[in-house]
Amino acid sequence: MNSTIHKPLRILHLIPHLSGGGAERQMAYLSGGLVDRGHEIHVAYLTKGPDSSIHLSDRIHFHRLSCFNNHNPRILWKLLCLVHRIAPDIMQTWNPQMDILGGLAFQRDKSRWVLREPSCSQAWSDTWKIRLRILIARRASVIVANSRAGCQYWSGQRPNVPRMHISNGMPLEVIDRVEPINAATYGISSHQKVVLYAGRLSHEKNLSQLLPVLAQANKNVPFVFVFCGVGPLDASLRRQVESLGVQKTVFFEGMCSQRQVWAWMKRADVLVSLSQFEGCPNTVLEAMACWCRVLVSDIPAHRELLDQSTAEFVDPHDAHQMESTLMKMLQEKYTNNRIQKARKITERMTVEHMVDQYEKLYKQVLEGEYSTSSLEHKIETIHPESFRRREKEKIKTYTINDSDECEMHNV
C-alpha cells in the first residue's frame, strides 16, 4: 500500500530495552514498516537485552542512553541532547519509564508526542511513578492504546488528551516461513500431546494456579508441558514442578527467540494463556497465526479478539473448569473450522495494516486534525455496548509491584 504521507518523517522511538518482549517486537515491526516507506527512524534505548533480533534493519538509527541504572538523572540529560540534535517530527514512547522521560524531554513547539499504552488499568498500581506518568501525560499529543481497555483507562485518567485504539500487528509472512520444532530432540515422540505457555513468568499470568491443574489433568490425558520465557517466578515454578512430581513432563525452555516460540506453537496442540489481565495479547495472536488452538482466560482482552467459535474460555480462578476444558481439548479431534477462523482474525491484523494506521495518525497529529471532541466520537465507535457491559463486571485483578511495572508488557 502506498504511503499516506508524502513528506518523509523523522520519528524517534523511546524504549528501555531492545529485548524480545511484546512492546519491543511491535516497535521493531512498526519501525521496519515505516523505514520501508521512506521515513527516518531513530530508536533511543537503555540496554540491548538478551535477544538482539530486535535489530531488524541497519537503516534504523539506534542511540544507546548509557547509564549506571534506570534512575540515573544523566538519562534525561542525554535524552534532551538527543531530542535537540535529532529534532524529530514525532516522538513515540513505549512504556511508563519512557513516558516519563520522554514527556519531560518533549518540546511541544518542535515535535508531537505519541504515548503508547501497552496494557490496561489492572496493570498499574497507585504508585508515585504511575501518578507522575499520568501527570506528565497531559502534554501528550495523542495516546495510542493497543486494546479497548487501554483506551478506557486513559479516558478516565486524561479525558482531555485524544486517544486512539491501534491493535498489534502480526508478521504473518515471517511466521509462515518457520518450521515446527523438532520435538524429538527433547525426547517427545510425534504422537505425544504438547501444551505450551509462552511469555513472562510473572504473577499476573496465573501460572502458580495453572501447574496443579496440569499435574491433575496429566493423570487422565498424558501430555508434555513446555514453558517458553523467563521472569520473577522462574525459581518458584521449578520448585512447584518438583513438589508436584511432574519433572519428566514439564520443560523449561527459558529465554527463547521469537522464531523458537513460533516453532513450538506449530508443534503444540494447545497454547494456554490464563492471565488475569492483558492489553493486546501478542502470544495468543501469534498462536492463532501458527494454527494452534488456544485456551484463554475469560477476560475483556481475550473477548475483544475471540469468541466461542475461535477459542475455549475459562475462569482463571476455577481450577476444575480449567482442568476439564484442557482435557476436552486434548481428547477431541482438531476442529479445523475453529483454527481457520482464528487464523483469519490475524490475517486482518497484519504489520502493514498497523503501519497504515500509525502513518495516518502521525499525519493527522502533525496537521492538527486531532481534537478531543473528534476523538471522543472515535472512542465511542470502538466501544460497543457489549464491551461496556463487560467493563462493569467485577474482575479479580493482580497489581504488579514497582520492580515489575516497567517490564510487565514483555510478553
The pLDDT tens digits of the residues spanning 79-98 come to 999 999 999 999 999 999 99
Q: Per-residue pLDDT tens for 119-175?
A: 888 888 889 999 999 999 999 999 999 999 999 999 999 999 999 999 999 999 999
Task: Provide the whole-model pTM.
Answer: 0.83
* Mean pLDDT value across residues 42-50: 84
Determine the average pLDDT of the residues in 355-359. Answer: 96
Position 57 scores a pLDDT of 64
Residue 390: the pLDDT is 42
Please tell me the predicted confidence (pLDDT) of residue 2.
47
- Assess contact for 380 and 344: CB atoms under 8 A: no
Of the pLDDT bands very low, low, confident and very high (cuts 50, 70, 90), residue 1 is very low
Q: Kindly state the average pLDDT of the residues 239-263.
A: 92
Options 3.50.50.60, 1.10.10.10, 3.40.50.2000, 3.40.140.10; CATH of 172-347: 3.40.50.2000
Mean pLDDT of the chain: 85
Q: What is the mean pLDDT of residues 195-210?
A: 91
Task: Measure the CA angle with vertex 325, ends 387 and 218; round to 5°.
Answer: 140
pLDDT at position 389 over 50: no
Domain boundaries, the chain: 10-169+350-392, 172-347
The pLDDT confidence band at residue 4, using thresholds 50, 70 and 90, is low
pLDDT of residue 103: 94
What superfamily would CATH give domain 10-169+350-392? Glycogen Phosphorylase B; (3.40.50.2000)
The pLDDT assigned to 409 comes to: 31
**What is the per-residue pLDDT for 189?**
87
pLDDT above 60 (res 399) = no
Burial 212-233 (b: 16+ CB within 10 A, else e): bbbbbbbeeeebbbbbbbbbbb
pLDDT of residue 407 exceeding 80: no
Q: Phi-psi bin for 31: left (phi > 0), alpha (psi -120 to 50), beta?
A: alpha
Whether 172-347 and 10-169+350-392 are alike in CATH topology: the answer is yes
What does the pLDDT look like over 20-37, one tens digit per residue? Answer: 788 899 999 999 999 999
Alpha-carbon distance of 298 to 302, in angstroms, equals 7
